[in-house]
């Protein structure tokens, strides 16, 4: 009996300490990790999507709170059009895939999409990031009309062969971007006006 109790007590106390330590380290590194992801994963994707813009999209950004998550929007301005880029997530083969979606505010068309963070199988699902031919199918499609789903599911997108789950996950992320954009558009326009001032 004594042994029983000591086993339970030791394991419980040890786990509690471990939990406490990890929570402390996590909250200590959270900000830096967010910055690193921004610098190494999101920034290159944003620069590719909003390529010939007059401003710096990494600086002109704002956050909008949608239900329980806050989404960062990056603004790219050209002479007579403005585009925003933001990230959504879809479920892939190896967990969440981040998809950066750029949308033109005037025409409501997709400017471009790029995969950011992912843990897909190298050589199969990872092609979504390394080879842009899949994500470039989205470019030019209208947010209001296009169906972001693979052809088998009645959509407009050709899936990557050998990476169906990744393709479907990216379509889910894209549809999520569609919803978010349509829902938050008035607020996005308002924020951009404030940014200009």
Partner 1 sequence: MAQSMAKEFTKGLWAEIPLFRLVLGLCPALAVTKTVENGIGMGLATTFVLICSNLLVSLLRNIIPPKVRIACYIVIIATFVTVVELVMQAFTYQLFLQLGIFIPLIVVNCLVLGRAEAFAGKNPAHLAVADGVGMGVGFTLGLGALGAVRECLGAGTLLGSPVFGPDFQPFTFMVEAPGAFMGLGLMLCLMNLVGKK
Where does this chain bind partner 1 (CB under 8 A)? Answer: 3, 6-7, 10-11, 14-15, 18, 21-22, 25-26, 29, 32-33, 36-37, 39-40, 119
**How many other β-carbons are positioned within 10 Å of the β-carbon of residue 30?**
10
Shortest Å distance, C-beta 26 to partner 1: 6
Shortest Å distance, C-beta 22 to partner 1: 6
Q: Which is nearer to partner 1, 60 or 87 (CB)?
A: 87
Shortest Å distance, C-beta 91 to partner 1: 18
Q: Which is nearer to partner 1, 22 or 196 (CB)?
A: 22
Q: Which is nearer to partner 1, 7 or 196 (CB)?
A: 7
Q: Which is nearer to partner 1, 35 or 81 (CB)?
A: 35
Q: Which is nearer to partner 1, 4 or 54 (CB)?
A: 4
Shortest Å distance, C-beta 114 to partner 1: 16
Q: Return the closest-CA partner of residue 120 out of 148, 99, 149.
A: 99
Shortest Å distance, C-beta 45 to partner 1: 14
**Residues 101, 86 contacting (CB under 8 angstroms):** yes
């Amino acid at each position: 009996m004594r042994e029983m109790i000591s086993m339970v007590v030791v394991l419980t106390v040890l786990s509690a300490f471990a939990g406490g330590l990890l929570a402390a380290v996590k909250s200590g590194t959270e900000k830096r990790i967010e910055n690193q992801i921004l610098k190494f994963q999101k920034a290159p994707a944003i620069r590719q999507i909003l390529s010939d813009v007059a401003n710096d999209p990494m600086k002109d950004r704002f956050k909008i709170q949608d239900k329980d998550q806050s989404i960062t929007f990056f603004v790219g301005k050209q002479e007579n059009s403005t585009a925003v880029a933001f990230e959504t997530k879809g479920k892939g083969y190896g967990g969440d895939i981040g998809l950066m979606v750029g949308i033109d505010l005037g025409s409501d068309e997709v400017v471009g999409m790029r995969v950011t963070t992912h843990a897909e199988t190298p050589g199969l699902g990872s092609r979504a990031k390394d080879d842009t031919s899949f994500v470039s199918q989205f470019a030019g499609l209208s947010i209001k009309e296009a169906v972001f789903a693979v052809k088998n599911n009645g959509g407009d997108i050709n899936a990557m062969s050998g990476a169906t789950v990744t393709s479907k996950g990216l379509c889910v992320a894209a549809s999520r971007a569609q919803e978010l954009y349509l829902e938050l558009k008035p607020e996005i326009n308002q924020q951009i006006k404030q940014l200009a001032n």
